[in-house]
Amino acid sequence: MARRLDMERALIAFDLGTTHLKWVVTDLSGQIILAQNQMPSGVRTDGCHSEQNPLWVYDRIVEVLKDARVRWNIQRLSFSCAMHTLLVVDSEGNPLTQSLTWMDSCAFPAAEHLRKQDVAGDLKRQTGVPLHAMSPLVKWIHLRSTLPKSARPVSLKDYLVFRLTNRWQTDYSTAAASGFLGLNGDWCPLALHYADVSARDLPELHPVTLAIPDTTGQFEVVLGGNDAATAHVHLGIAPDGGVGVLAMGTSGALRTTSAYTVDSPELFCYTMGPTRGYLVGSAFSNIGNYLSWVANLFSLSVDEVLHRGIDTVRRGEPLPVAIPYLYGERSPWWREDLHAEWRGLTPLHGRDHMLGSALLSIAAMYFRGLQTLEHQGVPLEDLRIGSGLLDRPFLAQFLSDSLSRPLSLVDAQDASLMGAIDLARSEKGLTTPVIQRYYHPSHSSLYERTLERVSILVAYQKS
């Protein structure tokens, strides 16, 4: 123990992503010492399935933590997690299923059944979670008849916190994205009724900053939150609705933190817990994953797709229409059964025209999300970006031009992961961001082309 007291004190955070497990070690001031990531083992993404092995994730975290504690005196461990994971456990906390990600669409029949019962609107109004197969509530309803009576629904993060602390505790932001939690901050009776569970079957609710001693008493586990909540902490998004976040990763989002609920069928609205406001915005299912598919289709890298596609759009050449719904789509349609295609192809179109049309349609999705928020009375005076695809300056400039809005880059680090570190550092849980770079719109014709593409995508869905 004397040797450990001489070690540098440090913090560690893990981001439980859809496609990667990321971790970072920092000193107590938040300066990065180590940053790494790994694609989880045991991932299944065939057919309607999108799963991770929770035992592998836990074992890897324990291994990383063990190695870190050889080098540093780890004071706190914190989490950021992808939204909408579902893991079913037994009464002892043993997994009965894999961890299902938001991309798992096998619960589509359950979603359709609930839509036909005309309960979708009531659930959306009471929980803020659109009725869609991404929802852990819908996944649980789909699986419930095949499970033992003692089974209980939790998130992947809940399971990891339990393994590290022996306590079933969750944060408001993670619970809010599950579909089980009401916008009032209590478990929703209507959701519990359709799920056939009681509040006693679910973890205790706590703020994102709650710190719990681990089972060894050597460090504390900070609950952390979903990846949007922790990103908003790092990006300094106060609950006043004036600042938005534009995120581009495997999936995408355009969101803000509002002081009040927003009721729109196109938008999600998740409580962040007492005094923290509501996470409101659009979620897009086809961003980095769609671009990776396009890249593989043409035997290119994603960066080549971005460069070639953006250059083609900027030249103003006539483009086909890319319908980008490869994985169905969430905002604004919330439909699992949409499909991708290119329309209007002619012999004059080549590969780069198809790439450009894909980029233009992605820009149009963000444009529609921005329109919807502002039509709901949530004006965004500032749009902030962090890491992910948008750490590429040429792509950030393309989005600024397409939206005709300035974008401000907070830093090139992973905002969600660093937000988890911020929560480990501060009981207040909100940081003051340092703007690294501004992007100002400089290409008005891109705005006009994007606006036109929004109309085309809306007409496609209505056809």
pLDDT tens for residues 82-122?
A: 999 999 999 999 999 999 999 999 999 999 999 998 899 99
Q: CA torsion sign, 36 to 41 to 45 to 48?
A: negative
pLDDT in tens, 352-408: 999 999 999 999 999 999 999 999 998 898 999 977 788 899 999 999 999 999 999
Contacts of 1 (CB under 8 A, 6+ apart): none
pLDDT at 342: 97
Q: CA torsion sign, 417 to 361 to 130 to 42?
A: negative
N residues, the chain = 463
Judge contact between 357 and 363, C-beta under 8 A. no
pLDDT at 39: 85
Judge contact between 322 and 450, C-beta under 8 A. no
How far apart are alpha carbons 127 and 198 in whole angstroms?
16
* CA angle at 224 for the pair 3 and 374, rounded to the nearest 5°: 145
Classified as helix, coil or strand, 284 is strand
Q: Nearest Cα to 397, choosing from 379, 413, 409, 411?
A: 409
Classified as helix, coil or strand, 270 is strand
Alpha-helix residue ranges (DSSP H) falling in 207-287: 227-234
Fold of 237-409+433-463: Nucleotidyltransferase; domain 5 (3.30.420)
The residue extents of the domains of the chain are 2-227, 237-409+433-463
Classified as helix, coil or strand, 29 is coil
CATH architecture of 2-227: 2-Layer Sandwich (3.30)
Is there a common fold for 2-227 and 237-409+433-463?
A: yes
How far apart are alpha carbons 234 and 414 in whole angstroms?
9
Report, as ranges of residue numbers, the positions in the chain whose pLDDT lies below 70: 1-6, 41-42, 412, 427-431, 463
Question: 54-71 and 156-165 helices cross at what angle (nearest 10)?
Answer: 50
Q: Nearest Cα to 405, choosing from 439, 448, 374, 372?
A: 439
How far apart are alpha carbons 313 and 310 in whole angstroms?
5
